[in-house]
Amino acid sequence: MNIELIPTREDERENFTANLQAAFQTAAQEEGGCDIDDEIISREDILATIESAGAQTLNIVRAGEIVGGAVVILHPNNHNELSLFFVDVNHIGEGIGFAAWQAIEARYPQTKIWEASTPYFAKRNLHFYINKCGFHAVEFYNPRHPSPETDDDYFFRFEKAT
């Protein structure tokens, strides 16, 4: 599958944000992790991630169509983050996620360790990160072991050495 990663332009941010929110909302509803009116990720959180130091916001493009997106945060020590990652809800199950992940790894070959996270209820994401992409669960955040970076109660943190 031919996937391109194209930097998201400033004028595309609103569309990127809306599509990311829709993808996260759909995934949460499918997994039973939220009510239909719950906001899974706020516009403010997305923009804060996009604007964070080292962040690169990318459209995932197939055959000229934007089919997803990612925010990668690069650090000087090459311990980099896949901070936000989504496939458009109309293209789930088409192999885009794995092809996009392979393109991300190829785009940043200097990375020594990748880090990602996902909510505990997101079984599809757990399968994707562990079984498809080769990440390892290294931490489970919960009320007895809270995340130092977020107030979300139940999250897995993954790492992948390259």
Cα gap 119→121, rounded to integer Å: 6
Average pLDDT over residues 141-156: 85
Q: What is the strand order of the sheet 155-161 is part of?
A: 3-7, 55-62, 65-73, 79-87, 113-119, 155-161, 136-141
Q: For the chain, which residues make up each domain, given as ranges?
A: 3-161
pLDDT at 147 (0 to 100): 87
Residues 94-142: pLDDT tens digits?
Answer: 999 999 999 999 999 999 999 999 988 888 899 999 999 999 999 999 9
Q: Which of 106, 126, 131 is nearest to 116 (CA)?
A: 126
Residue in this structure with the two tokens 């290294």, named with its chain if needed: 138
Residue in this structure with the two tokens 């996260």, named with its chain if needed: 24
Residue in this structure with the two tokens 């599958």, named with its chain if needed: 1
Cα gap 52→50, rounded to integer Å: 6
Residues 41-93: pLDDT tens digits?
Answer: 889 999 999 999 999 999 999 999 999 999 999 999 999 999 999 999 999 99
Residue of higher predicted confidence among 28 and 156? 156
Q: Could you confirm whether domain 3-161 is CATH 3.10.20.30?
A: no
